[in-house]
Structure 1
Amino acid sequence: MEQLKNKREIIDRRSIGADLRRLAETHDGDSLRQAVFERLRDALAEGRQKIEQRFLEGEPGDVAARAMSYLVDQIITMLYDHAVEDVFAAANPTDGEQLSVVAVGGYGRGQMAPFSDVDLLFLMPYKQTAWSESVIEYMLYMLWDLKLKVGHASRTVDDCIRMAKQDTTIRTALLEARYVYGNQPLYAELKRRFQKDVVAGSGIDYVELKLAERDERHQRFGDSRYVNEPNLKEGKGGMRDLHTLFWVAKYLYQVDRVSELVEKGVISQGEYRKFVKAERFLWTVRFHLHLLANRPEERLTFDVQTNLAKRLGYTDHAGAQAIERFMKHYLLTARDVGDLTRVICTAIEQENQRKPLLRLPRLGLRTREIDGFVAEGGRLDVTDKEQFAEKPADMVRIFRVAQHEDLDIHPNALRLMRRHRKKITRPVRQDPVANRAFMDILTGEKEPEIHLRRMNEAGVLGQFITDFGRVVAQTQHDMYHHYTVDEHTIRAVGLLWQIEQGKLKQDHPLSAEIIHKVLSREVLYVAVFLHDIAKGRGGDHSVLGERVAKKLCPRLGMSAAETETVAWLVRWHLLMSATAFKRDLADPKTIADFVGAVQSPERLRLLLVLTVADIRAVGPGVWNGWKGQLLRDLYYRAEDAMSGDMIGRASRERIKQARQNLAERLKDWPTRQLDAHLERFYDGYWLGLDIETQAWHAEIMRRADEQKKHIEIEARSDKFKAMTEIVIYATDHPGLFARIAGAMAVAGVNIVDARIFTTHDGMAVDSFIVQDAEEGPLTDPERLEKMKNAIRKTLSGEMRPTRVIADRKPNYAQRTQIFTVEPVVFIDNNASNTWTVIEVNGRDRLGFVHDVAWALFDLSLNLGRARIATYGERAVDVFYVRDMFGLKVEDRAKQERIRRRLTEAIQPPTPARGGGSKAA
């Protein structure tokens, strides 16, 4: 452990102590207190400045953390001396006028980040006296005035022992207790009693409690170390896990330093070096994080990752940004922490002959041989320590056997894999037995996700499938994806298995049904495993992934036809979501183009299930019922088209049938009123909506007309689809959609879909699919009424959304500002036979849709359909438009004007302009 150098450069206790004595001679009362405060304040500030300077000049984070603790130690020591010698001096102190100042918790370890808490125990020999109460109060108020965040307790030794027996948190705090100043024999008595009365005989129970506490903490923070914004302190593989290892070792083996575990044979010298390396890296990152945030921040959010990478010296390399390289280093360090946890827990199990400590199945201690491995206590191990060195393919086979037998992998085997995984070279990768074993794991009927994750944690998966190794711990630097590429992929495979097993039937009824109709399970599982395999290579990952699939699938034992299908699925794995979420599914051209690309019912089935698994694996809250409905609509329309229905035919029969269906539904209407209603709409209305929606619209329009209302607004919610449909029936006029979009932005509503219909008699029926900020339906009556009022005020001219939006502060968090989303406008005349399709990409903000819609109005374009989507910080909105003559926009000059105007409209807001999101 590196020692602190030039301690007096941080703080000169002798010099400052002399200053405090002189102040005591020349001041008294409040004057003395103020003078002492100012001297200690300056000393603390100068010490912090020196520590920060050393750190920024290259001193490691763990050394800086010890320096920070040393600085606080000296402040407390001098303050204690001043309090007991100058302020509350006792000529002949009694036994009750004794105190020991003890550091506990993180401060007790002797390591502090710039904004860490200072946890103090004021240890008293008996109950508190007037003298001890005065000293403690004086010290605490001074420390608080110095802006130190102090947690404290005043207890006797008996108090400490009694409470430690009752509370694991207090027991852990006392485990790390460190003498700072005062009565040393009193502290020694606490340590002796703690060891004798609390620790003795309770080691394994304490370990199990701490590991259970750790598991619960992991659940709170996502139960994965492979997240894009990890919590450095509390997350899986973070500093708290290292602390837990230290607590366990200290409690069981009575060690004060991790290095002593090597002498006791608990860990190897190499594993000790791994511990030190991980601790140093995490402390360095944490120290920088506190300094950057200027507060006790522990989460590596996107807005600080770029600055951290720069501070830590990471640079851009070919195919990898500096931030991605930094985060990969962090996540691999988190994996090392997990390895160390397994190693130490295994040593504890073996030494104490207790049940597994890592939430593993217990099948009894009977040893049995299974397919070249040894099973004991619910875990699979090697027969001897040279097995993997001599037969490296067994590093793949062991996972297949474990999966088949419902066993975990013994940490001893995992340790040997770490040592020998580099022996998985080309001959092993080409070994048919090893490849068959991998395919059995991937497509196995027993939850492949668990075993793929264990392979990945052991470093075997990336070594065996080298293309997968390139995406291990690779972050996706955006606010849409929650996990690293490898974790996302493994979760997608797990979700695919759950769909197949019927575990997600309620969420995905269609996928759960058709997955059993696919002709090749292996094709589907391999495609899901490979769909993001080429991310981070500097090109289109779908195109590059297709090449990887063509190379890898034959090695995995797949036929030429299977390889072709997998490669196609990887190449087009985004096609279905892009079509469903961006295009008008009522437009025959949309379906024709999609069917032309997919071509076969088998590919359609495979693509749907892959798409569902992919979206669900992005992260919590990304999937919702509305997306599911859009995908189902596309699937059914494409299936009908493949069977020869609709595509290429005239639409007259469909329009006629739709009108007849509505007439039957509204048969209680007066004949003249019904006939008039059926004649009000243009053909697009009958082709684009289902009978339930048309009947709902009819009742709204009838009621409004009878009551002579100029504006009628109705809403209905669907919890399964996670959406609310809003219908506005009003007199048609230019800019109507833009005004409604602005009103919805003001009301804090996300528009995800919009259809604009006009009648022959000058009315408009605008249908909006909306969601709240959490992508759920609007179920709060007050929220719905607020939105309706905003729309009414806007359409009546009482409210100007543009002004309201401009006056509001941007609603997006500052952390999103670090993302660069270049404004892009695409104009496509091939996506529809009758509409020009405009796709707008930009950074999401308050009023984004309103600004674009207003620009379209300025350009004299008539809007027929809008698809609104947000992917993290990126807005991707699609509009179906025609010019003022009802024609597609074919003129190149007009197209260029549209691009310029829309690009201007979606520019990020400036302080003078204000600006916006689909949500307020």
Structure 2
Amino acid sequence: MGVDPMGADVHGDGGAADEAGWAARARELLAHGDARLLKRYGRDVDIDRLLALRARLVDDLLRRAWHHCIPEGAGLSLIAVGGYGRGELFPRSDIDLLVLAEPDAQQAHQAALSRFFALLWDTGLPIGHAVRSAQECTTAAADQTVMTALLEARPVAAGPEAMAALAAAIAPEKIWPPRDFFLAKREELQQRHRRHGDTSDNLEPNIKDGPGGLRDLHTLGWMAERAFGVRELEAVVGLGHLGADEAAALARERRSLGRLRFGLHLVAGRPEERLRFDYQKALAQRLGYDDDEHSLGVEKMMQGFYRSAAIVRRISDRLLQRFEETFDGEAKPEPLNPDFVLRRGYLAAAAGYWPEGDLREVLALFSTWAAHPQVRGLHSQTARALAESLRQLPAYADAGPAARERFMALLRGPRPVQTLTRMARLGVLGQYLPAFAQVSGRMQFDLFHVYTVDQHTLMVLRNIEGFASASAGAGDERFSIAHEVWPRLRKPELLLLAGLFHDIAKGRGGDHSELGAVDARAFCAAHGLSEADTGLVVWLVEQHLRMSVTAQKQDISDPEVVRAFATLVGDRERLDYLYLLTCADIAGTSPKLWNAWKDRLLADLYLATRRVLREGLEAPVDAEARVAEAREATRLLLREQGHDDATIERQFAEMPDESFLRFRPEQLAWQAAALVEVRMGDTQVAVRPIGGAAGEHGGALEVFVHSPDRDGLFAAIVATLDRHGYAVHQARILMGPHGTVFDTFEILPADSYACGDPAQLELALRQALAGALDQVRAPRRAAPRQLRHFRFPPRVDFSTTADGRRSLFGLVCPDRPGLLADVAQALRASHLRVHDARIATFGERAEDLFQITDEHDRPLDAAAQDVLRAELRARLDPENPNRGAPR
């Protein structure tokens, strides 16, 4: 009888104690072997060898368990399949096994097999297994997932006859002919890409299944094996379907992605495939990426991932096309012009030695592509020729005048944004504009920027392109007036250039707006733009954040704020360009960032600034004239609703004079109409959608509350809104006659349970305000896991408004659910009054600004400021178990 190396008889029958002892010794052996292997892990590790050694370690343990449980001559074969069958084993990956046996052998040794698998589970191995005959393998392989796993088969305890039987069971003549398999796997790949938004450039990418991830490389390998019978992509080189340089690039990026995945399993302690915020910093530290003055170590690591994924996608697109041609054959070329043809719908260079380092020829390719929208894509041979010639192409500074003219022609021609996107994906844009290459794949470690800098730039350009479509009748309802502004642009390509350069200097240190403006000036000058056009582009890049900051952080109903902004802008043309760039930039930062509130805010600032520019910057601000004008416009709206002049005058007398300076006529008419039937001393609540029907435009709502003034009213309203899943983005609190308040809130759904029904929210607010206000509390909710990785100390600042009547209280702190409700409670506990609030959230960062006074409507003195600081510390400290509780 043989002896197990771990000390037990190979076929001993010592019962449960024997099995438990064997499993314990196996766990110890596995842990010791893993510990030795994992010490090798690092940035420069040979990941292929490390993965192979882990697989070999498990192979050895499986063979021992097999011989411990399965008698010799049993007619059973143990085969590794799936990723484990590929001979690579990541720390937390499943170990997929196939026991190949005919039905009589399966029946005869059922107990032994059960004992074998139970032993493996007791050992702690994550086993996935199937017991099948050869015929059962053929049947099961009708599922392409099973077929794919069987393609990776490798013997663990199996002889050549068993492997031959398995190969025969899944042979192309029995199941999945090569062309059918290719089409199925390609469709699977495309569906997988769509599930991930067809991009790897998001904040928490999936290393394995995302576009450009390891699964893409595996898919190409499975296709190659089915079509050509080769196990490695490198073997396809000899068949003429893959260039040696392409194979080398895929192997390099496979190792890079594998190194990340291996480390991700280690830091996560589980089979995690997403590079979540929870693990990114720890993994970057494990790999030795250090912070410097320009970039965090984690940003460097992630940039490496994004670039690897981009290369994998670029080459896999070419190889997929070559596989297609293998099955369907080359079609007769269809000439498009003397230089380019169509091959099976793909654009190809007519000359065999194209482009020979000629930038003009490369730009001609993109011009032809843009002129023929029916083109399926770039032909693989031409794409490879382009890739091989990239390093020979000059940057714009070294290119000749003819090439520069061709580039500008692309911006002025059809579908310029699609052209720039294609150039970026194929690496041409980064070669022509080296600064763009520097930000390609560059992420920013925060929750505000959900795309890499290059992908954000392309999103901004797509939004700009959408403005043109809107002006042609295919409107994007997210932008209420962009379609009116776009036709006024003298040269739309100048806006595209501003969009291309607005973030191009990120990551260099210093102000990226100023550095980007320097780059833009050099580029415009090199391309022969006039001084006026160059000045406009440079100014837009330099000031691209100014309109957003003004709208979101200042009171744009204040004529002086608008006048200061108009002075900065200077003329109507700059205003038009800056407005469109600002809209495109915000909407291109995150799918969730643009909403009806921001649309209205920017539109209001644009229209107010346009008016100041029309009247002249030197014209004095006449508040009385503005009030009279607003009253008249509101009166006309109320008359259209059927109200007589006596009713209108009565309503105007009950409204604060300041409201006619701060609100638009349609808002004033809505508020006045809501109060027609309200008696003195009663509370009225009205809620309506912003910018359209309820549920449109991101569910933004406007809330109007008229009530006798009471301590805690603002806090109670905010807490009620928070309880019903809404976040406040702007609040305005005005004092009316007879001790009443006119509170206006602009809100957005912050949680999935926000119903979006104005009537339901009205009822909830009325009920809350009818009772004791000090009983209205926001619920305590845990912060989303992503926010936990972006903590920083809150910053509180105090200043005084220009007229000296109120204090400005600024708060910058980590965002979280219920934050504003806690701030409102702190203000209430400090016996302070809120008159205005600007609530801005930038990813994980909340930047709020309040106009406040004490109980006697005076600015806060030093003692009152200290009281508020103490209240805020108590309520905002994430470690305080009583956070949010009254003091």
2:874, 2:880 within 8 Å by CA — same for their partners in 1? no
1:102, 1:120 within 8 Å by CA — same for their partners in 2? yes
In structure 2, the partner of 1:301 is 276
In structure 2, the partner of 1:730 is 707
- The answer on 1:62 being equivalent to 2:48 is yes
SS of aligned partner of 1:757: strand
- The answer on 1:536 being equivalent to 2:507 is yes
In structure 2, the partner of 1:579 is 550
In structure 2, the partner of 1:467 is 435
SS of aligned partner of 1:845: coil
SS of aligned partner of 1:20: coil
Note the alpha carbon deviations across 1:195-221, whole angstroms, 9 max, x for none: 253468x22332222122111111111
| CA 1:233–1:79: 2 relative to 1, 3 Å | same
Q: Distance in 2 between matches of 1:371 and 1:883?
A: 79
Q: Distance in 1 between matches of 2:208 and 2:462?
A: 28
In structure 2, the partner of 1:759 is 736
| CA 1:482–1:427: 2 relative to 1, 3 Å | closer
| CA 1:426–1:898: 2 relative to 1, 3 Å | farther
TM-score between both structures, scaled by the size of structure 2: 0.89
- The answer on 1:483 being equivalent to 2:451 is yes
Describe how 1:542-621 pairs up with structure 2 within 5 A.
Answer: 542-621=513-592
SS of aligned partner of 1:197: coil
Selected match of 2:843 from 872, 888, 895:
872
| CA 1:147–1:488: 2 relative to 1, 3 Å | same
Residue 778 of structure 1: CA displacement?
4.0
In structure 2, the partner of 1:322 is 297
| CA 1:390–1:221: 2 relative to 1, 3 Å | closer
Q: Distance in 1 between matches of 2:31 and 2:870?
A: 53
- The answer on 1:423 being equivalent to 2:402 is no
| CA 1:498–1:811: 2 relative to 1, 3 Å | same
Describe how 1:41-120 pairs up with structure 2 within 5 A.
Answer: 41-55=27-41, 59-85=45-71, 98-120=75-97
Describe how 1:655-694 pairs up with structure 2 within 5 A.
Answer: 655-656=627-628, 658-659=630-631, 665=638, 677-694=651-668
Residue 351 of structure 1: CA displacement?
4.2
Selected match of 2:147 from 171, 187, 199:
171
TM-score between both structures, scaled by the size of structure 1: 0.86
Q: Distance in 2 between matches of 1:525 and 1:833?
A: 43
Describe how 1:339-378 pairs up with structure 2 within 5 A.
Answer: 339-354=314-329, 365-368=332-335, 370=337, 372-378=339-345
Q: Distance in 1 between matches of 2:654 and 2:481?
A: 36
SS of aligned partner of 2:615: coil
- The answer on 1:245 being equivalent to 2:220 is yes
In structure 2, the partner of 1:221 is 196
| CA 1:445–1:671: 2 relative to 1, 3 Å | closer
In structure 1, the partner of 2:464 is 496
In structure 1, the partner of 2:410 is 441
Q: Distance in 2 between matches of 1:832 and 1:16?
A: 89
In structure 1, the partner of 2:230 is 255
1:429, 1:435 within 8 Å by CA — same for their partners in 2? no
SS of aligned partner of 2:734: strand
- Give the paired residue count: 871
Note the alpha carbon deviations across 1:251-280, whole angstroms, 9 max, x for none: 111112333223333333333322222121
In structure 2, the partner of 1:290 is 265
In structure 1, the partner of 2:9 is 21
Question: CA RMSD for the aligned pairs?
Answer: 3.4
In structure 2, the partner of 1:626 is 597
Range that drifts further, 872-881 or 383-392:
383-392
- The answer on 1:181 being equivalent to 2:181 is no
Q: Distance in 2 between matches of 1:578 and 1:490?
A: 22
| CA 1:799–1:145: 2 relative to 1, 3 Å | farther
Q: Distance in 2 between matches of 1:771 and 1:793?
A: 24
| CA 1:661–1:809: 2 relative to 1, 3 Å | closer
1:449, 1:491 within 8 Å by CA — same for their partners in 2? no
In structure 1, the partner of 2:821 is 850
Q: Which amino acid aligns with 1:272?
A: A
Residue 559 of structure 1: CA displacement?
0.9
Note the alpha carbon deviations across 1:273-298, whole angstroms, 9 max, x for none: 22222121111111110111111111
1:848, 1:906 within 8 Å by CA — same for their partners in 2? no
1:751, 1:868 within 8 Å by CA — same for their partners in 2? yes
2:294, 2:507 within 8 Å by CA — same for their partners in 1? yes
| CA 1:295–1:781: 2 relative to 1, 3 Å | farther
Q: Distance in 1 between matches of 2:329 and 2:593?
A: 42
2:498, 2:541 within 8 Å by CA — same for their partners in 1? yes
Q: Which amino acid aligns with 1:276?
A: A
| CA 1:821–1:571: 2 relative to 1, 3 Å | farther
Residue 501 of structure 1: CA displacement?
1.8
Note the alpha carbon deviations across 1:136-185, whole angstroms, 9 max, x for none: 32233333333433333222211222332x32222212211222224652
Q: Where does structure 1 lack aligned partners over 5 or more consecutive residues? A: 1-13, 356-363
Q: Distance in 1 between matches of 2:574 and 2:593?
A: 25
1:324, 1:474 within 8 Å by CA — same for their partners in 2? yes
| CA 1:66–1:793: 2 relative to 1, 3 Å | farther
1:320, 1:536 within 8 Å by CA — same for their partners in 2? yes
| CA 1:520–1:672: 2 relative to 1, 3 Å | closer
Q: Where does structure 2 lack aligned partners over 5 or more consecutive residues? A: none
Q: Distance in 1 between matches of 2:413 and 2:469?
A: 12
The percent of aligned pairs where both chains have the same amino acid is 30
Q: Which amino acid aligns with 2:89?
A: M
Residue 756 of structure 1: CA displacement?
0.8
Q: Which amino acid aligns with 1:339?
A: R
In structure 2, the partner of 1:841 is 812
Residue 464 of structure 1: CA displacement?
0.8
Q: Which amino acid aligns with 1:432?
A: P
Q: Which amino acid aligns with 1:279?
A: R
In structure 1, the partner of 2:878 is 909
